[in-house]
C-alpha cells in the first residue's frame, strides 16, 4: 500500500488516540509546572550555593531510587489495566505535589523535601511508561512513527509550556517560599484533569492484551516472581538485535546529554555574567536554552517521520548520533550564550528524533505482553545513564562549566555509539 494513512492526520482521526494524547498533554503540562517550581526552589535560589556535586546529587536522589525499582513497576504494567494506572497515578501525583508545596511553604529542606520530590518523579515515570505501552492500542502499526512523533514531541512541548507558565506565574507571585509553593500546588490541577480524561477509556482498552485473571492481586506478587518476569523481559529484548541496539543508542545519548545539561547549568549559574538583549543570562537565559531545545523537538517531529519512511530508523539513528557529536563540539568554538542556545536547539532535535525512533522500534519488535517491562527498563536506563553522566561531570567539570577535553570525550562517545549501533543492526 502507498504511504496514505500513515501521517499525523490519519492518526488524529481516531478518538482513542486523541484521548490518550490529551491525557499526555495535561499530564506533562503539570510536569513542566512542577519541575519549574522545583528548579526555582533548588537551583536558582541565591540562598542555596549549589556546586556541581550538589546538583548531581540532587538529580541522583530524585531519579536513581526509582531507577532501581523501575523494572518491578514494569511487571505490574504488564498485569494491571493501563487505563487504571493513568487514572490513579495522576490522582496520586496531585496529592503528592500538595505535600511538596506544604514543605516549600514551610521552608523544609534536606531529606524530607527530596523524598517528597522523589515520590512525584517516581509516579511520573510510571505514567510515561503506561502512555508508551498503551499507545499501540490507539493506532495501527504503519502509523506508529507518526503517532510517536506527535505524542512524544507534543508532550515535550507541553512540558516546556507548563514550565514557561510557571515562570510567568513566579513573576506575579514572587520568588519566595510562598510563590514557589503556590506554583508547585498549581501542578495538581492538570494532573487531576489528566486523570479525568484517562477515565474515559474502558478498563481494557489500553491493554495489556492478556491481562492475568489475578490482576487484582498482582500487587502482592513475590519479589521472586517479579525478578523472573524481568529476566524474561531482558531475554525478550536480547533476542531482538534492533531493540537491543535501540536501547544502546538512547543510553549513550543520555550519557552525553547529561554532560551537556550539567555544563549548561554551571555556565548560566557561574560563568555567564552578562549577555546581549537577544541572549540573556541567568534563569531567563537558561529558559531560552530550554525553549531552543523545545523548538528542536518540534523540528524533529516534522522531519523524522518522512525521513524514516525513506531510509528507516536503522540509518537515521546513526546519522543523528554523529550529528549530536558535531553539535556538542560546537560549544567549544566559543563558550558564549549564543553557542549554547544553538547547541540546545541541535541536541533537542537529536534527542527527540532518537527517542521517536527508539519508541517505535520497541513497539514494533516487542510483544505486547512484554511492553510494560521493556518500557520500564527503558525508563530506568533513561534515568541511570543521565545521573551517571551528571556524577561524572560533577567530578570532572570545573565550577565554570568550561572544559574542552570533556566536549571531545562526549563527541567521541556519540561517534562510537553510531558505529556500534550500525554494526548491530546491519550485521557487520
Cβ neighbours of residue 245 under 8 Å, at least 6 residues apart?
420, 421, 424, 425
**Per-residue pLDDT of the chain in tens (428 residues, 90 and over written 9):** 344 456 778 889 899 999 999 999 999 999 999 988 887 776 665 555 566 776 777 677 667 666 666 666 666 777 788 999 999 999 999 999 999 999 988 888 777 887 888 888 878 878 888 898 899 999 988 888 889 889 988 998 899 899 889 888 877 776 678 888 899 999 999 999 999 999 999 988 998 876 544 444 444 554 566 677 667 777 888 888 999 999 999 999 999 999 998 898 888 878 887 666 788 877 778 878 888 988 998 899 889 999 999 999 999 999 999 999 998 888 777 788 888 999 999 999 999 999 999 988 988 898 887 887 787 778 778 888 988 998 898 889 998 889 889 999 999 999 999 999 999 998 64
The residue count of the chain comes to 428
In the chain, CATH 1.20.1250 covers: 1-207+223-231
C-beta separation of 19 from 197 below 8 A: yes
Number of helices (H), then strands (E), in the chain: 15, 0
Fold of 1-207+223-231: Growth Hormone; Chain: A; (1.20.1250)
Q: CA 294 to CA 6: how far, in whole Å?
A: 24
CB 199 within 8 A of CB 67: no
CA atoms within a 13 Å half-sphere pointing along the CA-CB vector of 380: 18
Give Cβ neighbours of residue 401 (< 8 Å, ≥ 6 apart): 262, 263, 264, 265, 266, 267, 270, 271, 335
CA distance from start to end of the chain: 31
Compute CA 260 distance to the chain's CA centroid, rounded to the nearest angstrom: 15
Question: For residue 85, how many other CB atoms are within 10 A of its CB?
Answer: 24
Residue 58 near residue 261 (C-beta atoms within 8 A): no
Amino acid at each position: 500500500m502507498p504511504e496514505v494513512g500513515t501521517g499525523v492526520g490519519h492518526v488524529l482521526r481516531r478518538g482513542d488516540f486523541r484521548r490518550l494524547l490529551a491525557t499526555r498533554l495535561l499530564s506533562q503540562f503539570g510536569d513542566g509546572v512542577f519541575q519549574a517550581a522545583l528548579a526555582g526552589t533548588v537551583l536558582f535560589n541565591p540562598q542555596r550555593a549549589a556546586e556541581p556535586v550538589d546538583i548531581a546529587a540532587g538529580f541522583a536522589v530524585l531519579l536513581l531510587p526509582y531507577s532501581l525499582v523501575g523494572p518491578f513497576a514494569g511487571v505490574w504494567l504488564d498485569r494491571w489495566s493501563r487505563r487504571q494506572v493513568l487514572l490513579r497515578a495522576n490522582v496520586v501525583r496531585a496529592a503528592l505535589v500538595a505535600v511538596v508545596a506544604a514543605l516549600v511553604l514551610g521552608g523544609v529542606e534536606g531529606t524530607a523535601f527530596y523524598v517528597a520530590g522523589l515520590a512525584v518523579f517516581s509516579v511520573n515515570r510510571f505514567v510515561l511508561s503506561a502512555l508508551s505501552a498503551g499507545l499501540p492500542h490507539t493506532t495501527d502499526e504503519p502509523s506508529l512513527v507518526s503517532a510517536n512523533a506527535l505524542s512524544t514531541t507534543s508532550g515535550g512541548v507541553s512540558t516546556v509550556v507548563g514550565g514557561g507558565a510557571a515562570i510567568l506565574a513566579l513573576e506575579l507571585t514572587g520568588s519566595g517560599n510562598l510563590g514557589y509553593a503556590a506554583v508547585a500546588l498549581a501542578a495538581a490541577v492538570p494532573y487531576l484533569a489528566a486523570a479525568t480524561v484517562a477515565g474515559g477509556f474502558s478498563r481494557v482498552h489500553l491493554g495489556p492484551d492478556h491481562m492475568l485473571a489475578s490482576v487484582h492481586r498482582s500487587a502482592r506478587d513475590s519479589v521472586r516472581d517479579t525478578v523472573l518476569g524481568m529476566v524474561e523481559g531482558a531475554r525478550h529484548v536480547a533476542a531482538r538485535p534492533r531493540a537491543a541496539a535501540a536501547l544502546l543508542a538512547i543510553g549513550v545519548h543520555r550519557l552525553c546529554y547529561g554532560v551537556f545539561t550539567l555544563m549548561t547549568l554551571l555556565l548560566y549559574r557561574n560563568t555567564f555574567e552578562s549577555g546581549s538583549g537577544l541572549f540573556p543570562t541567568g534563569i531567563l537565559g537558561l529558559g531560552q536554552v530550554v525553549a531552543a531545545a523545545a523548538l528542536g523537538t518540534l523540528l524533529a517531529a516534522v522531519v523524522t517521520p518522512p525521513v524514516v519512511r525513506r531510509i528507516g530508523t536503522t540509518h537515521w539513528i546513526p546519522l543523528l548520533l554523529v550529528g549530536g557529536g558535531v553539535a556538542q563540539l560546537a560549544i567549544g568554538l566559543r563558550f558564549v550564550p549564543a553557542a549554547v542556545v544553538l547547541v540546545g536547539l541541535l541536541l533537542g532535535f537529536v534527542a527527540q528524533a532518537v527517542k521517536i525512533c527508539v519508541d517505535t522500534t520497541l513497539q514494533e519488535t516487542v510483544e505486547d505482553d512484554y511492553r510494560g517491562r521493556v518500557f520500564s527498563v527503558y525508563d530506568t536506563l533513561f534515568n541511570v545513564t543521565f545521573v551517571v553522566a551528571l556524577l561524572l561531570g560533577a567530578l570532572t567539570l570545573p565550577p565554570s562549566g568550561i572544559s574542552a577535553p570533556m566536549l571531545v570525550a562526549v563527541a567521541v562517545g556519540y561517534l562510537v555509539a553510531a558505529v556500534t549501533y550500525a554494526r548491530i543492526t546491519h550485521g557487520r
